[in-house]
Structure 1
Amino acid sequence: MNPDLVLSLTTKALEVALMLAAPMLLFGLIAGLVVSIFQAVTQIQEMTLSFIPKILAVVIALVIFFPWMMDTMISFTINLFTNINSYIGK
C-alpha cells in the first residue's frame, strides 16, 4: 500500500463523511437561525428554547435524507470491498 493510495482513500472517506453530515448540519443551522431571529424579535431570551427546534430539524433531515445516506454509505463500502485486492497487494 503506497502513500498515494492511503491519501486517496482517506480523502474519499472524509468526503463521504462530510456529504453525509451536511444535510443534518444545514437543517440544524437553519433552525438555529430562525429561532435566534424569533428570540431577537420577541426579546425572549430563554436558552432552552433553541434546543428542541434544532433537535427536531436534525431528526427531520435524518428521516428525509436517510435513504440517500444509506445508498451513499453502501456504494462507498461496496467500492472499498470490491477493490480490496488492489489495495492489499502489488
Structure 2
Amino acid sequence: MYRSLAESLHLKASKKSDRGGTELHADLALKMMADLFWTGLLLCLPLLGLTMLVGIVISVLQVVTQVQEMSLTFVPKLFTAGAVLIVAGPWMLGKLTQFTVQLWSSIPSMF
C-alpha cells in the first residue's frame, strides 16, 4: 500500500546549509507530513467511525423513546471503543509499525 519515501521522491536533501548540516526540501517535508496524516486517519477511522455510529443510533433511540439518561450514551460507546480496539488493534499496530519502519529505513536515503 505504501511506497517507500525514497522511491516516491525525486529530490534528495543534499544541499549543505550554512550550519554544516543538510536542508530538508519542502516537497520532502510535505510528503512526510501527508504520509503521517494519512496514516493517522487510517488508524483513527475504525475507532471513531464505529463509536460515532453507535452514538447516533443511541441518540435516535433516545429521541424516539424520550429516555434522557446520560449513561445510556456513554456506556455503549465505551464498550464499542473497547471492542474495536480488541478486534482492530493488531491491524492498527501493524500499520503503525509498518509506517515507522518505512520512515526510519528511508532516513539514510534522504540525506
TM value normalised by structure 2 = 0.75
Greater CA radius of gyration, 1 or 2? 2
Distance in 2, Cα, partners of 1:55 & 1:86: 43
In structure 2, the residue matched to 1:85 is: 108
| TM-aligned CA deviation for residue 49 of structure 1 | 1.6
- Is the aligned partner of 1:44 residue 2:31? no
In structure 2, the residue matched to 1:27 is: 50
Q: 1:12 aligns with which of 35, 38, 43?
A: 35
Distance in 2, Cα, partners of 1:51 & 1:84: 43
| TM-aligned CA deviation for residue 48 of structure 1 | 2.8
- RMSD between aligned alpha carbons? 1.0
| TM-aligned CA deviation for residue 47 of structure 1 | 2.4
Distance in 2, Cα, partners of 1:56 & 1:11: 32
5+ unaligned residues in a row in structure 2: which ranges?
Answer: 1-23
5+ unaligned residues in a row in structure 1: which ranges?
Answer: none
In structure 1, the residue matched to 2:8 is: none
What is the identity, as a one-letter code, of the residue corresponding to 2:34? T
Distance in 2, Cα, partners of 1:54 & 1:67: 20
> Which 4+ residue blocks in structure 1 deviate beyond 3 angstroms?
none
Distance in 1, Cα, partners of 2:93 & 2:66: 41
| TM-aligned CA deviation for residue 53 of structure 1 | 0.7
